Amino acid sequence: MTDTMMLLMEILVSGLLVLAGVFGLVGSLGLLKLPDLMTRLHAPTKATTLGVGGALIASMLYFGVFMDQFSFHELMITLFLFLTAPISANLIAKAHVLREEQPEKLPPTGAACGWATFDETADPSRPPEA
Q: Say if pTM beats, i.e. exceeds, 0.85.
A: no
Q: Is residue 125 part of a domain?
A: no
Mean pLDDT by runs of 10 across the 130 residues of the chain is: 89 95 90 83 82 90 88 88 87 82 67 61 57
- d(C-alpha 50, C-alpha 54), whole Å: 6
The pLDDT of residue 25 is 92
- d(C-alpha 10, C-alpha 128), whole Å: 51
- Provide the number of structural domains found in the chain: 1
The pLDDT of residue 10 is 94
Q: Is residue 124 part of a domain?
A: no
Q: Is residue 129 part of a domain?
A: no
Domain that holds residue 69: 3-118
